[in-house]
Chains A and B, each alone.
Chain A
């Protein structure tokens, strides 16, 4: 009986030990300040809207106003190909109205700044796409839902195989939301309200298209990208390698198994984000019910 007593104690202790809801404690995460860059160069336009911010530690309260790096507060210096950038206080971005971006040219961004008393430096290079990108038809007219698809035909810029399609519904409201779609039935208005931006902003990418043969590439806008009966604007970006790497990886840092992986950014030194270049154009269509 003594043995049985011991056995019961072991079982009891094992069960007791295997209970509970252990807390995840991520302590002492080593926070490394970084210069966050969001900057795009477009051939034919001047340098504009380059945003330089700082990253911030997790589980802390963030004041969004302190995120922007400024020449005065952060001793910031930013230049492209050695030409100094100016700071727009109101818009909190950097620009240079005298610097016109050309096709097929290498541009190097250099930024130095002081964050939390630490001197940081980063640089990144982008080569702008060659000329030749052309959207064949910019106004596609009415497209009947589920029976037709908007097809964007374009001639790619030679050497640029990466294209991103930003699909945005104009005047999107709950009233013109397509509730009787064949994909997610029985949607309620409150569901849409909660996830409104996820239905409104749609992004699609194609990589490695044949850009050297001078032919026309067709891209179909799928029904999963259109959730409202309204007008749509599709901005087509033909991006450089930095643009491609950023878009392919920036939102995929958490894997399906929950673990985090490194995004593919093209910065030397202490930078993260995007410094890329692109050619772009806009296509419009109007989505109407199928009957």
Chain B
């Protein structure tokens, strides 16, 4: 299969060279138009804005810095259209002069997302164009869209993403994302270019991303280009706000769980600064009132400074810190009680320099650092645990606009990983301390033979150095074809590698380990075919069919104690384990499925409806007798419906324009096939220890039997159905506004099954057993208020 991908890549590269005539015809004239597109209200660069020249019928899209370039232009006066969803399209007549870089700077004016569809005209960015420009399987969301989705107490990025097709969760208690059959460790999480590990608060219930600090989120569900790597399934790339360049701006939120604020301010004329802080106060409220609630809180905060030294040099520094702290005491009222302490969190930092070497060569350089660590201390059983994963990286990515229809992107990354796991228990110690290096280079060519075609071919090469070395080359390829003015067809394929494995743990943070001589590099191939269509100028329709395989993926060996061997014995003669040999079961697998999405971003009712069907099969050593099985996250059918409604517009149309207050209603409906579970197929009697026994004496007790599982995950829990609702009232007081809100999670109070337990009863020497269902979260209302100033 690898060979097919490489052949495909070379065919395309060959096709590019065969069509060199096409390129040389438009050989570089030196006449270019380049510039930046900004948000007029705050000076933020707009990522992915469209620049279109009416007369020439082509254009460009802004990159992550809001930068665009259109090379090889003829001279003359042209009509440029600058458009971006949620903003008024800017139309400009621009004179293009010969043999020079025609520099343009545009500021787009934001407008309410609830623009009435009747005013959509040809001057707006066509939805079909936007769909065509989007890479395969990519979703983009901004802060407003995330906050509009009804939430579980806190606005949460990862929970918001779970409303999209192909993205699901394991339970109400988890914000972790399972994307197209992939597990959470197969998702690359980036904040301002920095890798984030275990992005979870509150035992996984919330994620660490503060939605008010987010400028843009890009999620690639598969088939992503060569500029991304290191994970098998998906990329979640979060760009935080640079900060308001025009004036001081703030938003504050108070809910039953937490308080948070995001502040932005210009730094003179050269830049801006933005910062966010959030803290829960369970430890100061509920924990003081209710004995059963443990002393627990989390906080997170980020700070980003952005400096716009000149047109060619932009510089930013971004830091993030989040921490969870739990002091669990079995009985808080007692002087002495069983107690353990646990704290964990992420710290990240990045320095980014963007430089325009020449109008057609744009570069971005990063120095990033990321660290996850946790500490666990359970004195009563003499158990302590320290877990740390550090990631230091230097990255460079460059974009060379070779010709009007050919862009070359290339870059390199040098990453240093340090994993430390130290568990000290009475009679044993686990001490894993490793340094790993990953050196990566990539090259991608994007070629547009005509306005109807877009072809990207690339390759990513990794050199990984651990206790053994691995070299991997991963070809990537995508092709887009515009069928007509309304619809387009897309295909993407690629090979992906992963050098990390995650050992998930129940309610406490995961442990990461790196690939080594025992756990080989994981790989996956993606094949995705998509069709997109604009319907009636306001609706987007997308469907994608995909297949991906997995080689050498690792799942924690639940019976690890039966197979691990110590590396040496310490001075106290305790066994010490220093590697991950036998900690995981190795396996292969596949995922395939089809997704449908109908979406409307504007209008008094906006939102989306989606349906996803998928199937994932695993085959693992030592599990299910090496037969195929479905993992627990495999939900075959999922329907999502998200709607946001402007109540004023619906009921009070005449007074709508005059009103300084409005009501909004949000709805989120989820239907998902029940998760697969393993059910016990039978029970049997054996004593735990030979001297504990009653077996054989006629005194078989109800609690002496053991359950024996049947085929792994061969049954399904009942279907999962949930409806969430939010009502928000916003009152505008000119320079500031107030938005109290009510959120209701699981409005129908449906008792969705989490797992099952068996209860038994001994009566008249006979045992009867019943299944008892353990449910997920019930109806949970929450109140809060947002203040913008």
B564 at interface, CB cutoff 8 A: yes
Determine the chain B residues whose CB is within 8 A of the CB of A186 once the complex forms.
331, 333-334
Q: How far is the CA of A79 from the CA of B780 in the complex (A)?
A: 61
Also in contact, A93 and B696, with CB within 8 A (given A32-B681, A62-B767, A208-B564): yes
B3 at interface, CB cutoff 8 A: no
B722 at interface, CB cutoff 8 A: yes
Also in contact, A38 and B337, with CB within 8 A (given A18-B747, A20-B748): no
Stretch at the interface among B236-244, B352-360, B753-761: B753-761
Also in contact, A57 and B682, with CB within 8 A (given A201-B692, A258-B774): yes
Q: Is the CB of A16 within 8 A of B765?
A: no
Q: How far is the CB of A69 from chain B (nearest CB, A)?
A: 12
Also in contact, A61 and B748, with CB within 8 A (given A32-B682, A36-B686, A40-B690): no
Q: How far is the CA of A230 from the CA of B338 in the complex (A)?
A: 22
B427 at interface, CB cutoff 8 A: yes
B448 at interface, CB cutoff 8 A: no
Q: Is the CB of A264 within 8 A of B562?
A: yes
Q: Is the CB of B669 within 8 A of A260?
A: no
Contact string against B for A residues 57-83, beta-carbon threshold 8 Å, 1 for contact and 0 otherwise: 111111111011000000000000000
Interface residues on B, range: 35 or more
Which of A15, A253, A258 contacts B754 (CB under 8 A)? A258
Stretch at the interface among A99-107, A124-132, A133-141, A217-225: A217-225
Which B residue sits closest to A244, measured CB to CB?
Answer: B562
Which B residue sits closest to A250, measured CB to CB?
Answer: B706
Q: How far is the CA of A217 from the CA of B574 in the complex (A)?
A: 9
B657 at interface, CB cutoff 8 A: no
B770 at interface, CB cutoff 8 A: yes
Q: Is the CB of A257 within 8 A of B755?
A: yes
Which of A40, A182, A201, A207 contacts B337 (CB under 8 A)? A182
B15 at interface, CB cutoff 8 A: no
Which of A22, A29, A183 contacts B753 (CB under 8 A)? A22
Determine the chain A residues whose CB is within 8 A of the CB of B758 once the complex forms.
58
Determine the chain A residues whose CB is within 8 A of the CB of B766 once the complex forms.
61-64
Which of A24, A36, A60, A208 contacts B684 (CB under 8 A)? A36
Q: Is the CB of A252 within 8 A of B558?
A: yes
Q: Is the CB of A255 within 8 A of B573?
A: no
Which of B330, B686, B756 contacts A183 (CB under 8 A)? B330
Determine the chain A residues whose CB is within 8 A of the CB of B768 once the complex forms.
59, 61
Which of B428, B559, B671 contacts A206 (CB under 8 A)? B428
Q: How far is the CA of A264 from the CA of B770 in the complex (A)?
A: 26
Also in contact, A164 and B689, with CB within 8 A (given A20-B750, A58-B680, A61-B767): yes
Q: How far is the CB of B727 from chain A (nearest CB, A)?
A: 12
Q: How far is the CB of A154 from chain B (nearest CB, A)?
A: 12
Q: Is the CB of A257 within 8 A of B506?
A: yes
Q: How far is the CA of A260 from the CA of B677 in the complex (A)?
A: 8
Q: How far is the CA of A83 from the CA of B427 in the complex (A)?
A: 40
Stretch at the interface among B24-32, B275-283, B453-461, B709-717: B709-717
**Would you list which residues of chain A between 237 and 287 have a CB under 8 Å from chain B?**
237, 241, 244-245, 247-264, 272-274
Q: How far is the CB of A165 from chain B (nearest CB, A)?
A: 9
Determine the chain A residues whose CB is within 8 A of the CB of B773 once the complex forms.
23-24
Q: Is the CB of A260 within 8 A of B692?
A: no
Q: Is the CB of B710 within 8 A of A166?
A: no
Also in contact, A184 and B683, with CB within 8 A (given A20-B748, A91-B696): no
Interface centre among B565, B690, B723 (most CB of A within 10 A): B690
A30 at interface, CB cutoff 8 A: yes
Interface residues on A, range: 35 or more
Q: Is the CB of B573 within 8 A of A273?
A: no
B575 at interface, CB cutoff 8 A: yes
Q: Is the CB of B682 within 8 A of A235?
A: no
Q: Is the CB of A55 within 8 A of B683?
A: yes
Q: Is the CB of A260 within 8 A of B680?
A: yes
Determine the chain B residues whose CB is within 8 A of the CB of A30 once the complex forms.
681, 710-711
Q: How far is the CA of A256 from the CA of B204 in the complex (A)?
A: 15
A191 at interface, CB cutoff 8 A: no
Contact string against A for B residues 643-683, beta-carbon threshold 8 Å, 1 for contact and 0 otherwise: 00100001100000000000000010101000001111111
A203 at interface, CB cutoff 8 A: yes
Q: How far is the CB of B606 from chain A (nearest CB, A)?
A: 13
**Would you list which residues of chain B between 710 and 769 have a CB under 8 Å from chain A?**
710-713, 715, 717-719, 721-723, 746-758, 765-769
Also in contact, A56 and B683, with CB within 8 A (given A219-B427, A272-B708): yes
Q: Is the CB of B667 within 8 A of A11?
A: yes
A153 at interface, CB cutoff 8 A: no
Q: Is the CB of A262 within 8 A of B747?
A: no
Which of A56, A248, A260 contacts B678 (CB under 8 A)? A260
**Would you list which residues of chain B between 514 and 571 have a CB under 8 Å from chain A?**
558-559, 561-562, 564-566, 569
Determine the chain A residues whose CB is within 8 A of the CB of B753 once the complex forms.
22, 24
Interface residues of B, Cβ cutoff 8 Å to A: 170, 330-331, 333-338, 380-382, 426-428, 506-507, 558-559, 561-562, 564-566, 569, 573-575, 605, 623-624, 632, 641, 645, 650-651, 667, 669, 671, 677-693, 695-698, 700, 703, 706-713, 715, 717-719, 721-723, 746-758, 765-771, 773-774
Extra contacts, 13 of them, besides A184-B337, A209-B573, A272-B684 (Cβ < 8 A), are A14-B641, A22-B751, A24-B718, A29-B679, A64-B766, A183-B380, A186-B331, A213-B569, A257-B506, A258-B757, A259-B755, A261-B709, A262-B623
Interface residues of A, Cβ cutoff 8 Å to B: 3-4, 7, 11, 14-26, 29-32, 34, 36-38, 40, 49, 51, 53-65, 67-68, 91-93, 161, 164, 166, 168, 182-186, 197, 201, 203, 206-210, 213, 215, 217, 219-220, 222-224, 235, 237, 241, 244-245, 247-264, 272-274
